[in-house]
Chain A
């Protein structure tokens, strides 16, 4: 846990006492009772609000009425709560506020940040108590029509090309997306599906949480697209510590997707 704002890790709980976490827009209250865990959670509609507060003592009065309660029947003598970050459970369709034109033969590097999921477990190897997004993204459909395609999350972003402009918050993961236009014509990048569910998470000292880097290559004279998932967050960061595995297993480092036009909304 080298990041200053690390909220994940183990916390020993006193039976019956309430502890509270704030992970950006997400708040969590946990109490381990004699025979059950009680977890209240609430997420703000605003994606970038809130700071980080870890395992603070709380009382029942501060749990808002709108918080969702999860009860898990599980008796533990010395309850330990393990919080872990996880990538989104579906891929994320990123739509830049303004389309980015990628000229022929040019490689463009975009940086996008996606909300992390919060996984609560009863101990490091214990059962999962909760698995929720720190911020609920809007659903979207990604495909050529309403019959073919897949469900994803929608994210509107500035899709910045400038690494320095990124907000380093520990409730979101940064993904470096390299778009390589190997074709002879330029194209306008209107939207982009980032395979977040298939990416691992890394804690990078001083730079927040990163996912594996992704390269999308538009090939010459072909609509075929290829997504290459890098083994690590990319060259822009150093000494990453892997903190979460991908949710979905990817068969090998390279896999083909459908037509490029479906991968990149053009």
Chain B
């Protein structure tokens, strides 16, 4: 060791250098073993869910690393009894300094124990929809569908309403559809139920539900509620909208858009229109029959 100190002209004694090297070996060994532990735990927990695997892997590797770091510090002459003596003061100081972090950590533990979300789930947190990438001690990371990474503090996750789209195997889609007032409603209702019946993605049980939503401004409104396997929900949503349009077109059922009808009375002739300021204007002209006139 003396030659090493003399070669690099270090102002340390050979004993101090030996201690530093031993501590360094502990750190390197700790990092290596922590890595190996993580790999081993990952392999041993293949049958578990991704959330549990990540949690166990981190706990095991951090425990191994912590032990070796403590050994390295002890080797370097760090006295833990001093630390324990100052633990009370230190706890108060650290507690004040890291209130938010501790709150997030405790919230993170609650999230992990509650298991309301797991890695890979699609969730909605306060309007943000994305896939859960990880539930860490301080925060939860989401990847949105437009590929943005969102970090949400665990404290927020615990205190906010979360919608998990992946937890249950089947899901309902509600299609809002309006038909013109002139239509035969029995025919419309049968057409909607037939569409649900023909679509193989639509679950037979729970049965499709047709609800009359009342008289709207321009249409009589219905809600067709159909169930699908969760993975097929988006495809069902796209397909059934197209199928309703195709079926209604084929049956001559009008899908109205908002419009306003003008009546001058219960029974009336077309509203007369008179062009003002034109020399060629006639006395009266029904709507749509007058040729276009140039402005004076």
Contacts and interface: CB of A to CB of B under 8 A. Distances in A.
B148 to A, nearest CB: 32
A150 B228 CA distance: 12
A141 interface: yes
A142 B203 CA distance: 10
Given A45-B198, A151-B229, A138 B170 contact: no
B206 interface: yes
B205 A151 contact: no
A139 B229 CA distance: 8
A146 to B, nearest CB: 6
B205 A154 contact: yes
Interface string A126-153: 0000000000111111100011001100
A138 B202 contact: yes
A141 B200 contact: no
Nearest to A151: B229
A137 B200 contact: yes
A135 to B, nearest CB: 9
B198 A141 contact: no
B206 A141 contact: yes
B232 interface: yes
Contacts of B202: 138-139
Given A136-B200, A139-B229, A146 B205 contact: no
A139 B200 contact: yes
Nearest to B167: A147
B204 interface: yes
B193 interface: no
Nearest to A95: B204
A174 B51 CA distance: 44
B86 interface: no
A81 interface: no
Q: Point out which of B198, B204, B228 has the most chain A C-beta atoms below 10 A from its C-beta.
A: B204
Contacts of B227: 141, 146
Given A139-B228, A139-B229, A141-B227, A147 B168 contact: yes
Contacts of A173: none
Contacts of A136: 200
B201 interface: yes
A93 interface: yes
Contacts of B168: 146-147
Interface string B116-131: 0000000000000000
B201 A139 contact: yes
Given A45-B198, A151-B169, A151-B170, A139 B206 contact: no
Contacts of A137: 200
A138 B232 CA distance: 12
Nearest to A156: B204
Contact of A138 (B169, B204, B206): B204
Contacts of A142: 205
A147 B199 CA distance: 23
Nearest to B232: A139
Contacts of B232: 139
Contacts of B204: 93, 95, 138-140, 154
Contacts of B203: 138-141, 154
A93 B201 CA distance: 15
B206 A146 contact: yes
B169 A93 contact: no
Contacts of A154: 203-205
A139 B169 CA distance: 12
A140 to B, nearest CB: 4
A91 to B, nearest CB: 13
A64 to B, nearest CB: 18
A147 B202 CA distance: 17
Given A140-B203, A140-B205, A146 B170 contact: yes
Contacts of A141: 169-170, 203, 205-206, 227
B201 to A, nearest CB: 6
Contacts of B229: 139, 151
A123 B169 CA distance: 36
A138 B203 CA distance: 7
Contacts of B206: 141, 146
B181 to A, nearest CB: 33
Interface in B165-209: 168-170, 197-206
A157 to B, nearest CB: 13
A263 to B, nearest CB: 14
Contacts of A150: 169
Interface string A56-98: 0000000000000000000000000000000000000101000
Interface of B: 168-170, 197-206, 227-229, 232
11 contacts: A93-B204, A138-B199, A138-B202, A139-B202, A139-B204, A139-B228, A139-B229, A139-B232, A141-B205, A146-B168, A154-B203
Given A45-B198, A154-B204, 16 more contacts: A93-B204, A93-B205, A136-B200, A137-B200, A138-B197, A139-B203, A139-B228, A139-B232, A140-B204, A140-B205, A141-B170, A141-B203, A141-B227, A146-B227, A151-B229, A154-B205
